[in-house]
Structure formats: structure tokens, C-alpha cells
Amino acid sequence: MKELKAKVEIKFKPGVLDPQGKAILSALHNLGYGEVEDARVGKLIELKLKDKSKEEATRRIEEMCKKLLANPVIEDFIIRFEE
Amino acid sequence: MKELKAKVEIKFKPGVLDPQGKAILSALHNLGYGEVEDARVGKLIELKLKDKSKEEATRRIEEMCKKLLANPVIEDFIIRFEE
């Protein structure tokens, strides 16, 4: 089975305050980028996995997110695979 | 013109050391996820922009990345748009 590359996008749930995003938004406005209406900051984790099908890998990565990578109380995550 | 949603993925260039990624890799191995061969951590910035075409927005976001969002010496960035 070939190597899988997965991208995990972790971002705050809607409604959760994002002070880093607010700081970026304000800095962008100060730099003259007034067209930016909102900025939210999340994490992007790229994983290389061996010997797993996509189904099995999705299940395992969901577990990893719940146990370690994300905080399920305030964060959502999306798993995508790259060819 | 409608509102645009852009996702900016910022990650270390290949070869740049990523201590946070190494820490995650080691923690995943300790938790029993031995199938993970590599982990790299990046940033994901979501921007909402008004009154710009995609071409204009891409040009402006590239500027924002170079000036504020990314460190072009050690980081690469990718801009994607969501409908």
C-alpha cells in the first residue's frame, strides 16, 4: 500500500473568540488592506502515513485529533488527502 | 461584487526544521500511532474580503503574506478561494 499524505485543518468553532485573528485583522487594516472583513487563524498539520487505506487512516486521524491534535471543545477539524 | 473567502496555507519550506512537528510526531508514536512517518505544522489563515475580483484579491493577499502573514525566508504560502 502506498504512502498517504493527509492535511488536517484545525480551526476554532464559529463563535469562539480568536484574538490572534483579531490582531491580524487590525494589523492588515493599519497596513491599508481595508477590504479584509475578517481573519481567523487555525492550524494546518500535514501527516505522512504508511500502510493504511484512506478509510482506516481517516478513522485513525480522527482519533489523533480528539486525543492530541485538536481541542474538540472549541475546535473543529477537517481531514483531506493529497495524491 | 460578492464577498470572497480565501484560505492561506503557510508552511515551512522543505528542509526548515519544524520542532513543533517533531514533538507531535513523537507524541503520536507514544500514543501508539506508529504508522505516522512525518508531521509538519503550519498556519491556516482564513480571510473574508469584499469588493475584489479573484485576480486582484490574489495579488493583494500575496502582498499581505510577504509583509505580515508569512516569513518568506523560511515559509511558503498557498492561496485558495472558497465559493
Class of domain B4-82: alpha beta
Nearest CB partner across the interface for A68, out of B31, B57, B69: B31
For residue A2, pLDDT over 90 is answered with no
Task: Count CB-CB contacts under 10 A for residue A55.
Answer: 8
- Residues 10 through 69 of chain A touching chain B, CB cutoff 8 Å: 10-11, 21, 24, 27-28, 31, 33, 35-52, 57, 60, 64, 67-69
User: Is there a contact between B74 and B16 (Cβ–Cβ < 8 Å)?
Assistant: yes
User: Is there a contact between A23 and B45 (Cβ–Cβ < 8 Å)?
Assistant: no
What's the one-letter identity of residue A8? Answer: V
Name the nearest CA neighbour of A58 among A9, A12, A6, A10: A6
CB-facing half-sphere around the CA of B75: CA atoms within 13 A: 21
For residue B1, pLDDT over 70 is answered with no
Q: What is the value of ipTM here, to two decimals?
A: 0.90
For residue A23, pLDDT over 80 is answered with yes
Mean pLDDT, range A27-43, rounded to an integer: 97
- Mean per-residue pLDDT of chain A: 95
Cell 480551526 sits at which residue? Answer: A11
CB-CB neighbors (< 8 A) of A44 in chain B: 9-11, 41-44
- Mean per-residue pLDDT of chain B: 95
